[in-house]
Amino acid sequence: MIAFVIVALFALIGGFGVVLAKQPVHSALYLIVNLLSLAIFYILLSAEFLAVAQVIVYAGAIMVLFLFVVTLLTAGKEEREPSESLAGQRLTAGILAVLVGGGLAVLAILYPSHSLALGLPRNFGNLFGMGSTLWGPDFVYLAAVALMLLTAAVGVLVLNRPRQKSEANVRPKEGETSWSR
């Protein structure tokens, strides 16, 4: 129980750090802390395969990809002009977030998972147990998580795209004609 409480504190610190960090790189580092604490939870549940997969796949490969994308998208941030139209986008994003959250709640009500009510499956933590869980009756949840991750990735790309200056606002330099640009 003491190990669980200590790891839970690290998981909470990592989770709050992800949300409250000002810099995206710091947020990604806090996410690594959260993912590693989740791997320790798997070890405490005797699911060693899941713990190793958590560290290799998520804390390793996916976080390297996230850090690469974050540094790539913030490289020319000072050259971009701030957008004044974010208020409408935030309202739209809020409405979509409520709709997606409601849809996921309806999905959880329509397709309840019976594995928690019956206890852990017999093959919990090994490869066969994971395969039968992910590709069995609970496949709907895996598809919902994939959809949420895809939506988040598209949102990051849309919000960080460089703003284009219109040709009408760009004046030619002295001695330069408009066709020589």
Q: Please list, in sequence order, all residues whose beta carbon lies within 8 angstroms of the beta carbon of residue 163, skipping any fewer than 6 positions away.
A: 80, 81, 83
> What number is the average pLDDT over the span 26-30?
85
**pTM of the predicted protein model:** 0.48
Q: Output the pLDDT for position 136.
A: 76
Higher-scoring residue by pLDDT: 125, 96: 96
Least confident of 30-34, 42-46, 56-60, 161-165: 161-165
- Three-class DSSP category at 41: helix
Q: Output the pLDDT for position 10.
A: 93
Residue 168: CA atoms inside 13 Å, Cβ hemisphere, count? 0
Spell out the long-range contacts of 110-116 with Cβ–Cβ below 8 A and sequence spacing 24 or more. Answer: 111/137, 111/138, 111/140, 111/141, 113/138, 113/141
Closest-CA residue to 42 (of 31, 32, 53): 53
Distance from C-alpha of 181 to C-alpha of 172, rounded to nearest angstrom? 8
Residue 91: what residue type? L
Distance from C-alpha of 70 to C-alpha of 68, rounded to nearest angstrom? 6
Give the rounded percent of residues in the chain with a pLDDT score beyond 70: 71
Q: Output the pLDDT for position 163.
A: 64
User: To which H or E segment does residue 2 belong?
Assistant: helix 2-20
What is the per-residue pLDDT across 65-81, written as a single tens digit (0 to 9) for each?
777 777 777 665 555 55
Cβ-contact 25, 67 below 8 angstroms = yes
Give the rounded percent of residues in the chain with a pLDDT score beyond 90: 6
Reported as a pLDDT band with limits 50, 70 and 90, residue 6 is very high
Task: Tally Cβ neighbours within 10 Å of residue 2.
Answer: 6
Q: Which domains are delineated in the chain?
A: 1-75 (1.20.120.1200), 85-162 (no CATH)
Q: What is the mean pLDDT of the chain?
A: 75
- DSSP readout, 134-179? HTTTTHHHHHHHHHHHHHHHHHHHHHTPPPPPPTTTPPPPTT--GG
